[in-house]
């Protein structure tokens, strides 16, 4: 009978103990082979969210001699297996966070959070509740694998009885996740919660907080299991890391959305609160704000002797500075229109001089029309702006205006005014360049598309300038939001003459 020296047994025991005590870097340095580890390059079984199944022990290449104990696996191989699992987890986590980082809205980010979290914890359904603790909103409730009615059922449960509600109402800064491995077997569960869980067919839940040290509590995410279950410690750790990153990303999107909402509110206040009522003409306006808060605007103001002034324009740039410049330009044009509105060239000349003196680094486009509804007469002039479109039963055509550079770029005023006499029932459509640019097509095709949209206005809608503007918007921008990502504003002002 062979015997193994005691010294050898002590050496093996020491090595096995070392694999638990040494650091990862020491283990790699001591045990990693010179080439690429075979265990990391060998084919693996399918993994769930980056978590490898147990790697089977390698088969022996030769039968050991009878009576000789089988030697333990090499400590280096065990550490390599563990490191391979860590690398796989980190790779999966990196891929999931990259996908989350590509989301640009709160709704998209919450949907991605639920999908990634469900894969990490091994669940099929879930729900995310966004409710910032500062009370400034916005509030969201997003479901994964849950219809709106099912989410409504869950919301009937007293908030304090739900796992996500306990996280959101917790007095702690960032509370720990809440796991309920067996909802139906929990004797302390609220009866209403048990009834809803039985009706919707879920038996366990796992909830994580959405909070950051700077923004505070933002909400919570909860995943639902069809059978009693609880994520393992390794899965909890991964979803915890992912939840921390998701919270930071949501905090940034929340701040961005609040800023956009503020800009939208300011922009709305800078536009006319209502359109004037002038005999002989019907007015309608439509607008779609871009995400960056551009400087497009429109205006309609009554003038002496039953006249009417119509204007559209666009200021270069975006954001708060462009909105402020737009407000100043619109207010100045209103003042010049009251004083000399019957001469549109003089109005725009004064506006050009003002812009050149007060804001030399900024340019703008504008179109001003002086209308006499009783006489069905329009005198208009433009500075770098797209021509109006006349829409009627017998003609649909662009008004031939003289070419002119934008405001702030004119060496001298050269573009004369144009006189137009609309027929009874015809509508004059004024618009900003955003209507053309949002199509993503070259300008000549965009103009042709706008003309086609005007021609195809249904006969029943031609008596309503609002219906005409709506039809043009639907035809030009069928998807609603900005498909090109240009962030352009869209302004339409329609005037139908009786």
All structural domains of the chain: 6-55+68-97 (no CATH), 103-258 (3.30.450.40), 271-497 (3.60.40.10)
Compute the C-alpha angle 365/371/375, nearest 5°: 155
Burial 328-362 (b: 16+ CB within 10 A, else e): bbbebbbebbeeebebbbbbbbbbbebbeeebeeb
In this prediction, residue 413 carries a pLDDT of 56
- Tell whether the model's pLDDT for residue 202 goes beyond 90: yes
- Tell whether the model's pLDDT for residue 7 goes beyond 50: no
- Tell whether the model's pLDDT for residue 6 goes beyond 80: no
- Looking from the CA of 366 toward its CB, the CA atoms found within 13 Å total 30
As a whole number of angstroms, the distance between CA 421 and CA 377 comes to: 5
- Tell whether the model's pLDDT for residue 68 goes beyond 80: no
In this prediction, residue 405 carries a pLDDT of 84
- Tell whether the model's pLDDT for residue 220 goes beyond 80: yes
Both tokens assigned to 224: 């639902």
- Tell whether the model's pLDDT for residue 65 goes beyond 70: no
In this prediction, residue 259 carries a pLDDT of 86
Both tokens assigned to 362: 């900024």
Confidence of residue 231 (pLDDT cuts 50, 70, 90): very high
Residues 6+ apart with CB under 8 A from 440: 483, 484, 486
Torsion sign, CA atoms 232, 233, 237, 238 = negative
In this prediction, residue 83 carries a pLDDT of 82
Model confidence over 275-307: pLDDT tens digits? 999 999 999 999 987 766 678 999 999 999 999
- Tell whether the model's pLDDT for residue 251 goes beyond 60: yes
In this prediction, residue 163 carries a pLDDT of 92
Model confidence over 383-438: pLDDT tens digits? 989 999 999 999 999 998 877 888 887 655 566 889 999 999 999 999 999 999 99
- Tell whether the model's pLDDT for residue 223 goes beyond 50: yes
In this prediction, residue 33 carries a pLDDT of 39
In this prediction, residue 265 carries a pLDDT of 84
Pairing of strands 389-391, 216-225: unpaired
8 Å CB contact between 235 and 51: yes
Q: Which residue is associated with the tokens 């994964």?
A: 144
Provide the terminal-to-terminal Cα distance of the chain, rounded to the nearest Å.
116
- Tell whether the model's pLDDT for residue 59 goes beyond 80: no
Confidence of residue 486 (pLDDT cuts 50, 70, 90): low
In this prediction, residue 40 carries a pLDDT of 34
State what percent of residues in the chain have pLDDT above 70.
82
- What is the pLDDT averaged over residues 138-153? 95
- What is the pLDDT averaged over residues 334-351? 93
106-121 and 75-101 helices, crossing angle to 10°: 160
Task: Please give the mean pLDDT across all residues of the chain.
Answer: 83
As a whole number of angstroms, the distance between CA 435 and CA 474 comes to: 11
Which of residues 80 and 473 earns the better pLDDT score? 473
In this prediction, residue 212 carries a pLDDT of 94
How would you class 154 by CB atoms within 10 Å of its CB: exposed for 0-12, middle for 13-18, buried for 19 or more?
buried
In this prediction, residue 80 carries a pLDDT of 82
Model confidence over 75-89: pLDDT tens digits? 678 888 778 878 888
- What is the pLDDT averaged over residues 331-355? 92
Give CB contacts under 8 A, 24+ apart, made by 322-326.
322/293, 322/294, 322/295, 323/263, 323/266, 323/267, 323/270, 323/293, 323/295, 325/295, 325/359, 325/362, 325/364, 326/270, 326/295, 326/296, 326/297
- What is the pLDDT averaged over residues 351-362? 88
Both tokens assigned to 374: 């009783």
In this prediction, residue 268 carries a pLDDT of 85
In this prediction, residue 427 carries a pLDDT of 97
Residues 6+ apart with CB under 8 A from 314: 294, 295, 296, 297, 364, 365, 366, 385, 432, 433, 434, 489
Which of residues 270 and 154 earns the better pLDDT score? 154
Which of residues 67 and 268 earns the better pLDDT score? 268
In this prediction, residue 451 carries a pLDDT of 97
Largest distance between two CA atoms of the chain: 123
Residues 6+ apart with CB under 8 A from 443: 436
In this prediction, residue 481 carries a pLDDT of 53
8 Å CB contact between 376 and 497: yes
Pairing of strands 307-318, 364-372: antiparallel
Model confidence over 32-55: pLDDT tens digits? 334 433 333 333 434 444 444 443
As a whole number of angstroms, the distance between CA 392 and CA 455 comes to: 9
């Amino acid at each position: 009978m062979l015997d193994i020296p005691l010294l050898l047994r002590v050496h093996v025991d020491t090595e096995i103990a070392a694999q638990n005590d040494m650091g990862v870097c020491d283990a790699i340095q001591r045990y990693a082979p010179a080439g690429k580890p075979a265990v990391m390059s060998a084919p693996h079984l399918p993994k769930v969210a980056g978590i490898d199944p147990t790697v089977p022990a390698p088969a022996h290449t030769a039968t050991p001699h009878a009576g000789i104990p089988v030697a333990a696996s090499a400590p280096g191989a065990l550490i390599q297996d563990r490191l391979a699992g860590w690398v796989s987890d980190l790779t999966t986590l990196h891929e999931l966070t990259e996908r989350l980082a590509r989301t640009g809205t709160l709704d998209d980010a919450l949907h991605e959070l639920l999908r990634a979290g469900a894969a990490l914890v091994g669940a099929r359904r879930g729900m995310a509740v966004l409710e910032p603790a500062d009370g400034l909103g916005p509030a969201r409730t997003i479901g994964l694998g849950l219809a709106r009615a099912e989410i409504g059922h869950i919301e009937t449960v007293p908030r304090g009885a739900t796992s996500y509600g306990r996280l959101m109402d917790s007095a702690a800064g960032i509370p720990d996740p809440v796991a309920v491995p067996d909802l139906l077997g929990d004797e302390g569960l609220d009866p209403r919660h048990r009834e809803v869980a039985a009706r919707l067919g879920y038996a366990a839940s796992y909830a994580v907080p959405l909070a950051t040290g700077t923004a505070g509590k933002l909400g919570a995410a909860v995943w639902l299991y069809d059978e009693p279950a609880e994520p393992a410690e390794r899965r909890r750790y991964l979803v915890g890391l992912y939840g921390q990153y998701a919270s930071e990303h949501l905090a940034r999107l929340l701040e961005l959305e609040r800023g956009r909402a503020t800009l939208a509110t300011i922009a709305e206040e800078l536009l006319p609160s209502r359109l004037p009522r002038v005999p002989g003409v019907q007015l309608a306006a439509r607008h779609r704000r871009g995400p960056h808060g551009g400087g497009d605007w429109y205006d309609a103001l009554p003038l002496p002797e039953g006249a009417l002034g119509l204007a559209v324009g666009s200021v270069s740039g975006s954001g708060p500075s462009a909105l402020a410049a737009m407000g100043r330009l619109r207010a100045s044009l209103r003042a010049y229109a009251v004083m000399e509105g019957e001469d549109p060239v003089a109005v725009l000349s004064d506006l050009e001089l003002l812009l050149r003196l007060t804001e030399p680094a900024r340019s703008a486009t504008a179109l001003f029309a002086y209308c006499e509804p009783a006489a069905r007469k329009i005198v208009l002039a433009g500075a770098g702006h797209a021509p109006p479109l006349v829409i009627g039963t017998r003609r649909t055509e662009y008004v031939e205006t003289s070419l002119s550079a934008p405001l702030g770029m004119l060496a001298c005023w050269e573009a004369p005014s144009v006189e137009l006499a609309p027929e009874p029932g015809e509508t004059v459509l004024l618009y900003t360049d955003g209507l053309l640019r949002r199509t993503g097509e070259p300008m000549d095709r965009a103009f042709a598309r706008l003309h086609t949209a005007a021609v195809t206005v249904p006969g029943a809608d031609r008596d309503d300038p609002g219906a005409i503007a709506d039809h043009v918007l639907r035809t030009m921008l069928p998807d609603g939001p900005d498909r090109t990502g240009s962030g352009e504003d869209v302004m339409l002002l329609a005037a139908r003459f009786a």
